[in-house]
């Protein structure tokens, strides 16, 4: 199916969903040791709470690095499907990464953004998406043709299924609510890195 045949939604019509629920729906579909890179804060808290797979990486401290890290993993291990999970505020801080991923045409990479319109974890200050920036339009503009809003949970699952089966790069944007995350990641950077490297099979 081409990008043109995808069911479509706009930021305005996309259902406001829950980040923790969507993260669990994604993780439930993984059975090939796919890598999942959770961005700073709530995004990786919900990834942690969805089950601590060794192929999960939890970014501590810096915004906007889920997609760049995921891109590096996808380049290093082209047989492995890689997902980046990022908040809207964090994604906006590192937009150049989208163009780089598009230029590389990284087929085994999918970026999922949770757009709640705010920097939730630092006090819910509004991000640019609250003022009209449409992240799918931005992603398309960088060259990521397979970019779409998830209309609802069922559509989100369809998009994940496609990302698992069909060549990317994919950009899946979701509208999400302001509910707190379902857990909090253990803040141990060395452990997170060591476990992830084992999960990717690069160390014992
Ligand atoms: C470069 C940088 N600037 C600011 C911060 C402080 N900070 C940490 S998380 C965060 C907000 C993240 O917002 P978003 O990615 O939209 O995720 P949400 O909190 O809404 O889940 C901010 C401002 C930081 N850690 N790094």
Q: Is the pLDDT of residue 148 over 70?
A: yes
- Residue 135 near ligand 1, beta carbon < 6 Å: no
Please say whether the beta carbons of 176 and 116 come within 8 A.
Answer: yes
Please say whether the beta carbons of 198 and 54 come within 8 A.
Answer: yes
Which pLDDT does position 25 carry in this prediction? Answer: 98
Going from N- to C-terminal start, the domains of the chain cover 3-199
Angle of helix 66-76 relative to helix 96-104, nearest 10 degrees, comes to: 20
Q: Is the pLDDT of residue 53 over 70?
A: yes
Tell me what the pLDDT averaged over the chain comes to.
Answer: 96
Q: Is the pLDDT of residue 3 over 50?
A: no
Which protein residue has the closest C-alpha to ligand 1 atom 3?
63
Q: What is the pLDDT of residues 151-168, one digit of tens each?
A: 999 999 999 999 999 999
- Residue 62 near ligand 1, beta carbon < 6 Å: yes
In this prediction, residues 71-82 reach a mean pLDDT of: 98
Ligand 1: which of 16, 20, 40 to mutate, judged by most atoms within 8 Å of the beta carbon?
40
In this prediction, residue 204 has a pLDDT band, given cuts at 50, 70 and 90, of: confident
What distance in Å separates the CA atoms of residue 113 and residue 83, rounded to the nearest whole number? Answer: 10
Which protein residue has the closest C-alpha to ligand 1 atom 12?
119
CATH 3.20.20.80 fits domain 3-199: no
First to last CA, the chain: 40
Which pLDDT does position 6 carry in this prediction? Answer: 58
- Residue 20 near ligand 1, beta carbon < 6 Å: no
Please say whether the beta carbons of 37 and 27 come within 8 A.
Answer: no
What distance in Å separates the CA atoms of residue 118 and residue 51, rounded to the nearest whole number? Answer: 26
Q: Find the 118 Cα to ligand 1 centroid distance in Å.
A: 9
């Amino acid at each position: 199916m081409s990008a043109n045949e995808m069911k479509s939604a706009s930021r305005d019509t996309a259902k406001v969903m829950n980040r923790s629920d969507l993260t669990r729906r994604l993780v439930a579909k993984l059975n090939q040791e796919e890598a999942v890179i959770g961005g700073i804060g709530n995004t990786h808290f919900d990834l942690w709470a969805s089950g601590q797979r060794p192929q999960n990486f939890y970014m501590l401290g810096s915004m906007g690095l889920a997609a760049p890290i995921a891109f590096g993993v996808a380049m290093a291990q082209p047989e492995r499907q890689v997902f980046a999970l990022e908040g809207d505020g964090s994604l906006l801080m590192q937009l150049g990464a989208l163009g780089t991923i598009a230029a590389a045409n990284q087929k085994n990479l999918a970026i999922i953004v949770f757009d709640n319109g705010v920097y939730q974890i630092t006090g819910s200050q509004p991000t640019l998406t609250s003022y009209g920036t449409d992240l799918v339009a931005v992603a398309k503009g960088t060259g990521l043709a397979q970019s779409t809003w998830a209309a609802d949970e069922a559509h989100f699952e369809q998009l994940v299924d496609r990302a698992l089966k069909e060549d990317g790069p994919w950009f899946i944007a979701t509208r999400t609510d302001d509910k707190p995350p379902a857990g909090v990641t253990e803040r141990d950077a060395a452990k997170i890195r060591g476990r992830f490297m084992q999960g990717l099979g690069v160390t014992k």
